[in-house]
Structure 1
């Protein structure tokens, strides 16, 4: 499995170790990193960065950050950049944000978005709390259409 997994051309997902490899980010053309953790480091590279300080725990409220993160991913892509979303292992928190982006900005269902991310990064597994938040997000997106 590649260290930086390409969800779509300009949206990537990885773990923290890969996200801190400067040469990998430069090669891939990453211009923005969203770090979904309280403790993982930021890359030592001149990038636009955002930290969403949550633990990978079912009771953490990640959904309150969905719109902010998806807006940042969307604006990065629209301006010609590439966005990397990562957390410690690249399995739950970062996957949840990538799925939320696909649902909101690419009009995918939760299952379509999950399967798309799972195809490129088979190890993803949003925790039960995040999955429930994604289900609620899907319903709110459908109501707002």
Structure 2
């Protein structure tokens, strides 16, 4: 008996079994050991292959007085925004939920973004398009974001900065703002952390400050690299 025939004969003696395999897209397949076949399971696409958290993320994390950070979800809850005294919303990369479609169409272009006042609650919404990819230029878009935050805080308002999940894009903007305002201070931006009251914060300090209020923040690697460069730029600008 040849080697291949011996393997084939032993394979015939193996116990017949079927295995259901689900890929990352939620597609399920049945692998048949005896037939050597792979068949798509009819009950496929019922699950994406991982646990989906369908609960809304309604956290409004106040990182410094008047400056809040979070996901897109709170923009769909006008009572929550009003209860927390939110006067401004900066939507970074994703549009707010609590806005009629016809209002989105009427947004006025402002500094590379879009701005309007909600007719029902008077909240000022600013939307700035931006992608959550490492190569997106965070530094170039900061001059569009900082005046929005300053405008809210300097008038004793409260601003909610969000992206989609409140994990990468919006924390990156808030980190940059805290870095900048801890070096170039204004009376409306009260920034302090631990023993560094009134002193400039490092990027590490700012990250720790944000994580004390919102643990899930995780700027993508490209944004972190740009924030490190931005920190060096601030220090250089201040020394000139």
Q: Same fold (TM over 0.5)?
A: yes
2:181 to 105, 120, 132: 105
Q: List aligned pairs for 1:3-82, cutoff 5 A.
A: 3-37=59-93, 39-44=94-99, 45=118, 46-82=122-158
Matched with 1:120 is 213
* Structure with greater helix percent: 1
Contact in 1 for aligned 2:58/2:73 (Cα 8 Å): no
Measured against aligned partners, the alpha-carbon deviations of 1:79-116 in whole angstroms (never above 9, x if no partner) come to 11011100110000000011011101123211111111
Q: Which has the higher contact order (CA 8 A, sep 6+)?
A: 1
Structure 2: 5+ residue stretches without partners? 1-56, 100-117, 184-200
| Greater Rg over alpha carbons, structure | 2
SS of the residue corresponding to residue 64 of structure 1 reads helix
Q: Normalising by structure 2, what TM-score?
A: 0.57
- How many residue pairs get aligned? The number is 144
What CA distance in whole angstroms lies between the structure 1 residues aligned with 2:58 and 2:165?
A: 14
* Partner SS for 2:147: helix
Return 5+ residue gaps in structure 1 as ranges. Answer: none
Q: Does 1:83 align with 2:159?
A: yes
